[in-house]
Amino acid sequence: MGRSLLVRWASNVVALFVAAWLLSGVDYGDQWWTLLIAAAVFTVVNWSVKPILAVLSIPFIVVTFGLFYFLINVLMLYVTDWVVPDFEIKTFWWGVLGAIIVSLVNALMHRVLPPDDRWRSR
């Protein structure tokens, strides 16, 4: 589990960096430590809060054909924005674009850095 969280954190560092680099509405300031802390908060929020929200909102996810689950991803970015002072998402639409980029980069990163023991040869 420790390696899995470390891989998620590393993926989130890269994903949040790419989102901030591509979008003017997502910003972590000039300090790298802000990005590292934001990625840690985002990892913990996705690990702990997101599953609870997903289970509680199953009816909405079903009715909207999964769109509501994407809105939960946007909400997780906003929770990170709320907790980390220098991490900022300017508007809802920047949050939507940021969530898309973070999701795409994380999907690519998890192919490169698998979170389980698949990387070891037996």
pLDDT in the model for residue 82: 96
27, containing H or E segment = strand 26-27
pTM, full prediction: 0.87
| Mean pLDDT, the chain cut into blocks of 10 residues (122 residues total) | 82 96 93 94 94 94 93 95 95 96 93 64 46
Instruction: Please check whether residue 114 is in contact with residue 88, taking contact to mean a CB–CB distance below 8 angstroms.
Output: no
pLDDT in the model for residue 4: 81
**Nearest Cα to 81, choosing from 48, 30, 34, 12?**
34
Sign of the CA dihedral with 59 first, then 65, 71, and 73 last: positive
Residue 79 tokens read as 């929770």
Residue 68 tokens read as 């509501």
Q: Residue 121 — left, alpha, or beta (φ > 0 → left; ψ -120 to 50 → alpha)?
A: beta
pLDDT in the model for residue 122: 45
pLDDT in the model for residue 39: 96
Lookup result for tokens 């990005």: 35
The upper half-sphere exposure of residue 12, i.e. CA atoms within 13 Å in the direction of its Cβ, equals: 25
